[in-house]
Amino acid sequence: MEPTPRTQIKRLPERGVYERSTVNQIIDEALICHVGFVHDGQPFVIPTIHARVGDTLYLHGSPASRMLRSIRNQPICVTVTLLDGLVLARSHFHSSMNYRSVVIIGEAREVNDPEEKTAAFEGVVEQVASGQWDYARRPTDKELKATSIIALEISEASAKVRTGDPGDDEEDYELDIWAGVIPVTTQFGQPIDDSRLKPGLISPPHLNTYQRP
């Protein structure tokens, strides 16, 4: 994926990554994204669920959503961020975080084709919990009509990644100050039964071993 003037990393360009495989991996691992748009002259940034199907990013929600209504056929910016570690240097100036992030820029379009809409709905379900689409009841036609799907082609995007140790000033390595990285991970517990679950039902294997890709 070639960088464009809008996606070229200018601040610390050595952290920029433009390989589609890296962009896709970050999108797929994240559970939420943030959508930036302008409505009536006011900028907004809204967190929401997303899903990638091929080279397309899908957002879904209620047709009454101000965000989804506002971004139809409008330019938007979607960001995804994964936090991997707290980087504590010998100086406050060089302390940082290890992270992986993606910025996608483009024009949003509303999805009206029933087949694409169903595929996008499946993508969102599977993004949250792989295996759930085949396990739970599929959406009805009425439910599909009551769901708004917005698509954004992943054609103008870039990733930015920081890994590794702190980068202290050379003279600071002699200081008697601990420096290093505190890893950040997301942990998922065992499923908790719904209070109205039918007796005898147990959570399925794909949820008992839940983890992100």
pLDDT in tens, 164-205: 999 999 999 999 999 999 999 999 999 999 999 999 999 999
Count the Cβ atoms, other than its own, within 10 Å of residue 137: 6
Q: For tokens 């689409």, what's the residue?
A: 133
DSSP bridge pairs for 45: 36
When pLDDT is averaged across residues 130-141 and rounded to a whole number, the result is: 96
Q: Is residue 172 part of a domain?
A: no
In a domain, 99, yes or no: yes
DSSP line for 110-135: E---HHHHHHHHHHHHHHHSTTHHHH
pLDDT, residue 24, reads 97
What pTM was estimated for this model as a whole?
0.92
pLDDT at 45 over 90: yes
Tokens 């989804």 found at: 68
β 180-183/56-61 pair status: unpaired
Q: Is position 51 within any domain?
A: yes
CATH of the domain at 204: 2.30.110.10
- The predicted structure's pLDDT at residue 63: 85
For residue 3, pLDDT beyond 90: no
Would 177 be classed as within a structural domain? no
> What average pLDDT does the segment 102-117 reach?
96
Task: Give the total number of structural domains in the chain.
Answer: 1
- Indicate whether 107 belongs to any domain: yes
Tell me if 65 is assigned to some domain. yes
Whether residue 3 lies inside any domain: the answer is no
> Can you name the residues that pair with 134 across neighbouring β-strands?
none
- Its domain, for residue 47, covers 13-166+182-208
Which pLDDT belongs to residue 36?
Answer: 97
Please report the pLDDT score of residue 16 as a whole number: 83
The verdict on residue 139 lying in a domain is yes
